Amino acid sequence: MKNFFSLLATLLLVSNIAFGQTKWSVDPAHTNARFEIKHLGIAFVDGEFTKLEGQVESKDSTSFENATVSFDIDVNSIDTRVDARNKHLLSDDFFSAEIFPKMTLKNATLKSAGKGKFKLTGDLTIKDVTKPVTFDVVQNNGIIQDPWGKTRAGFTAKTKINRFDYNINYADKTPAGIDAVAPEVAITVNVEVVKN
């Protein structure tokens, strides 16, 4: 009988922990995934992916410490404001979007890095490569109640990756030997989440 009550108490504790989780959904209308890359060694080209979705799960509705994050980005939604360039980026020179239509961030966890700051570390998959990546994250102005009664929070996450690490292997060079498109890509994700 003692074992039964011990088991029941454990189950109740686990249930309380599970039900204590707070789930948030990324608001795609107020979220963007942007990138910037050096062109010909003299300027920068930027762009964004306009279709994405994501979820965040926090321990409660007041803190994002140890929250888990997942993200899916539609590669075909790339927009650099130049149609010909967009098509080239979707080709096998870059994203091979016909074969690999999604980029994902999975198994990502937020760890506190000071007041309103976090490190987000998870598995980034681009094309057929998955590698760990760490974003520097700032929470923008805490958690708020919007005019329509919904609870929201906003974050800005930044990192840099080497595109060659993800088999984005376009490698043309200028006559002087400078990369037409640099290896390093700066990524900025502005995220607004809504409590479910």
Q: Does residue 17 carry a pLDDT above 50?
A: no
Cα–Cα distance for residue pair 53/30, rounded to 1 Å: 11
Residue range 143-179, pLDDT digits in tens = 999 999 999 999 999 999 999 999 999 999 999 999 9
Find all residues with CB under 8 Å of 148, minimum gap 6, and list them: none
- Tens digits of residue pLDDT in 109-141: 999 999 999 999 999 999 999 999 999 999 999
Longest CA–CA span in the chain (Å) reads 82
The strand pairing partners of 132, in sequence order, are: 123
| pLDDT at residue 8, as a whole number | 44
Work out the pLDDT band at 3, boundaries 50, 70, 90: low
Provide the pairing of β-strand 32-39 with 129-145. Answer: unpaired
C-alpha closest to that of 150 among 84, 194, 93 = 194
Domain ranges across the chain: 21-195
What's the pTM value of the predicted model, to 2 decimals?
A: 0.87
Homologous superfamily of domain range 21-195:
Lipid/polyisoprenoid-binding, YceI-like (2.40.128.110)
d(CA 191, CA 17): 26
Q: Please tell me the predicted confidence (pLDDT) of residue 6.
A: 56
Give mean pLDDT, residues 54-62.
95
Tell me the per-residue pLDDT of 61-90, one tens digit each, with 9 for 90 and over. 999 999 999 999 999 999 999 999 999 999
Q: In residues, how long is the chain?
A: 196
